[in-house]
Amino acid sequence: MSNSRRLFLKGACVAVVGASGLTLAKAKSTSAANAEPACKYALVHDETKCIGCDACSIACREVNQVPEGVSRLEIKRKGPFGEYPNQQFHFTRISCQHCDDTPCVKVCPTGAAYKDPKTGIVSVDEWKCVGCQYCIAACPYQVRFINPVTKAADKCDFCKETRLKEGKLPACVTACPTKALTFGDITDPQSQVVQVLKSAPSYRSKVDLGTRPKVFRIASQSGEIEL
């Protein structure tokens, strides 16, 4: 996107703050955030299988051309727990939670942040983003950032614009050597992601906020649970 167009959009955004046009855009964003998608893509991270190898984050960076210094996906390591030599670590996935009730979408003044009506994936229209960082401030999971190349808000989108367009699984899922990640439509009772969730207890982060995240975790059998 050209700098001139981005500057124009920024100027336009400032001009309409508090005006009826902004109110309408915000109303549309809120409506889109609350709409029920045709399917709901979800991800399960099985922490009992995760070895913290970072193959997922490396694949994400390569496929989605994520610049150095920022990340769509990180694996947080805690531990060790237990006594040597029987020590274990706890690995937690840090990425967009693809909430059903989306704080980031609700605060976006231009409609750049949106929930895809077909898949439920929370995404960003780069060309609409003016870099106001409202969505970054609103995200309770602190996973959004400003892309230093595009100057727009960025985050995990389940490879919506790359792998999913080709009918493939997200890069992180394919790259995981221990099959700790499962992806699919949570509204389909026959999907693999539903079968995995039925097979073991799971938890989600910050459910008390009412965001209804679609990243599920099967808790490591030792160590701490990241809520």
Q: Got the DSSP string for 96-137? A: ----SS-HHHHH-SSS-EEE-TTT--EEE-GGG-----HHHH
Write down the pLDDT at residue 222.
60
Q: What are the average pLDDT values for consecutive 10-residue runs of the chain, which has 227 residues?
A: 46 41 45 66 97 97 97 93 85 97 97 96 97 98 98 98 96 98 97 97 96 96 53
Write down the pLDDT at residue 84.
84
- Alpha carbon distance 116, 10 (integer Å): 24
- Alpha carbon distance 188, 196 (integer Å): 12
Which residues, 6+ apart, have CB-to-CB distance to 118 below 8 Å? Answer: 37, 38, 39
Write down the pLDDT at residue 34.
54
Task: Decide: 186 and 54 in contact? Cβ < 8 Å.
Answer: no
- Alpha carbon distance 194, 136 (integer Å): 30
Amino acid (one-letter) located at 180: A
Query: Which residue in this structure is represented by tokens 């029920």?
Result: 36
